[in-house]
Amino acid sequence: MTANAGSDEVMEVDVLVIGGGTAGPMAAVKAKEANPDLRVVVLEKANVKRSGCISMGMDGLNNAVIPGHATPEQYVKEITVANDGIVNQKTVMAYAERSYDMIQQLDKWGVKFEKDETGDFNVKKVHHMGTYVLPMPEGHNIKKILYRQLRRKRVEVINRYMATRLFNGPDGRIAGAMLLNPRTAETAVIKAKTVILCTGAAGRLGLPSSGYLFGTYENPTNAGDGYSMAYHAGAELSGLECYQINPLIKDYNGPACAYVTGPMGGYTANAQGDRFIECDYWSGQMMMEFYKELEGGKGPVFLKLDHLAEETVEEIEEILHTNERPSRGRFHENRNTNYREKMVEMHISEIGFCSGHSASGIWTDENARTTVPGLYAAGDVGSVPHNYMLGAFVYGAIAGEDAAAYCADHELPEIDKAEIDKERARILAPLNREHGVPAHQVEYKLRRLVNDYLQPPKVTRKMEIGQDRFAEIRRDLELISAEDPHELMRANEVSFILDCAEMAAAASLYRTESRWGLYHYRVDYPETDNGDWFAHVQTKKGEDSKPVNFKRPIDPYIVELGDAEKDAYQKLRVNNANA
């Protein structure tokens, strides 16, 4: 793309995939497989070779539904219970039914999964009820494998352009996106019949307790871009009050990886070295027990490995120090933490949106369709709960295939030129301002306010004060100045983060009950109220440009729960004298 001043290069495509991390490459490949004649483009803010939260690979599948170990029905039950009943089961089932095919597809592409001596997948039990965890001891090369497929299927890749807003056509359906180059500040427009948002979590919402803006749990490239873009395009979002909060290694802020260590004998312990939770699978209820222990007299919380045999510890080190977050070895080394001798101190993460781990996302159905025609969402930014990496792959595939079919019946919509001009002026404004406030200062303040006012335990009055302070930050957006295109990218990300903060506050205030353990623990509404609140809470952009909330009924279950199963995740605390 070439330089521009006031006019933009316009590219016309059939399928525009925004985000080249996990779901994105899969969506593009499957759209091309469905119809090789389509023009399919993956747009990536970074570089597809190393982008997204699996930049350095992944150590396993957390939700493998493999015949002989689990059935799709069991999995749907498990996620329904783990998510306190608030699920669209059809979407979870659509994942579960394609889970095994996707594993076989990845296996064929060269992803190495752990197999036993008979060649069967070596699945481990981590969840409360079923068995779904499949280790990938050599999972560090997964991005290379995806990249190879992008090349093979002739998908066009545009690296180092961020999307800032989506455009709607005259009839409301999706029509394309505005692009900004973070190295040159060039802008561009892509007209598209379909857009698939694969932009990952809102990882820079809360501020990590280290105070380091980029020391987040999620890849901090993911500022909540997709949540904000879907919101402004008129799409419905869901479950934004069901925050992502994870148990992590303190300060390092990466996962302690009880899923890896659990099946090998490691566990989450209190300061006395005692187990206090029955199950290390991440859920709101588990986080509530974690939080109580952390704040209680037996806190803080640790990952305990110091009782394991030497060869087991070596195996754990080999997996954890080469995959996903491989710098963790040097972090432990700096603090003289040797797994053999010392438990690893843990803490809880900053809040974020992420359906990969909890349930906050852009509302999609079982075809990955959002409520805006032609707009899809897959992966962490979609709304299918507890979807993890394999869910991102499956929903990427579903979105790619459905988008390819949509293209056959639709022409390219027009984009209003005035909208393009308005958006270009908005995103370039900080570059033309002198002596303003730098983006990082506004971002720090905004995310500190998110911690102060939105982080659970949630208090009504505090969240309302938070809303007032966010309104002040919204005025401050007009003061941000950027000295170079890189800072301009950060300035535009602040506006994504602010949209997410306002949506988080609105959705949390709307649901006047407590649910999902710590994720939505409202101190002034401490009980779960299934009478009034057995429903999805949706968020949409209102007439006054502020978030509006409403309930969406839960679709009738397709897999009924047994009475004994319903509260399985409410009984996570170890029941003995030591706990």
By CB under 8 A, name the binding residues for other proteins.
46-47, 49-52, 55-56, 159-160, 182-183, 210-216, 219-221, 251-253, 325-327, 330-331, 334-335, 435-438, 479, 486, 489-490
What type of residue is 197?
Answer: L
CB of 232 to other proteins, least distance (A): 24
d(CA 429, CA 426) in angstroms, rounded, equals: 5
The nearer residue to other proteins, 44 or 401, going by C-beta atoms, is 44
Distance CA 136, CA 115 (A): 9
Closest CB to other proteins among residues 24, 284: 24
Nearer to other proteins, 52 or 430 (CB): 52
Query: Which SS3 state, helix, strand or coil, does residue 101 take?
Result: helix
CA 189 to CA 193: how far, in whole Å? 13
Read off the DSSP letter of residue 336: T
SS3 (DSSP) at 356:
coil
Between 94 and 446, name the residue whose CB sits nearer to other proteins: 446
Residue with tokens 């997948």: 121
In the block, which residue shows the tokens 């709304």?
Answer: 383
Q: Which residues of 242-264 are buried (b: 16+ CB within 10 A; e: fewer)?
A: bbbbbbbbbebbbbbbbbbbbbb
Q: Which is nearer to other proteins, 85 or 300 (CB)?
A: 300
| CA nearest neighbour of 551 among 234, 235, 239 | 239
- Nearest distance from residue 49's CB to other proteins, in Å? 6
CB 150 within 8 A of CB 31: no
Q: How far apart are CA 4 and CA 26, in angstroms?
A: 32
DSSP H or E stretch at residue 189: strand 187-197
Through-space distance between the first and last CA atoms of the chain, rounded to whole angstroms: 61
Least CB distance from residue 327 to other proteins, whole Å?
4
- Minimum distance of other proteins from residue 336's CB (angstroms): 12
CB of 317 to other proteins, least distance (A): 16
Cβ proximity to other proteins, 122 vs 210, nearer residue? 210
Q: Output 221 or 261, the one with its CB closest to other proteins.
A: 221
For other proteins, the closer of residues 236 and 443 by Cβ is: 443
Q: Which is nearer to other proteins, 154 or 486 (CB)?
A: 486
State in angstroms the smallest separation of the CB of 21 from other proteins.
9
Least Cβ distance, residue 335 to other proteins (angstroms): 8
3-state SS string over 484-497? CHHHHHHHHHHHHH
CA–CA distance, 165 with 227 (Å, rounded to integer): 11
Closest CB 490 distance from other proteins, rounded Å? 8
Answer for the pair 362, 70: CB distance below 8 angstroms, yes or no.
no
Residue 10 pairs in a beta bridge with 189
To other proteins, the closest distance from the beta carbon of 215 in angstroms equals 5
If DSSP codes are grouped into helix, strand and coil, which group holds residue 389?
helix
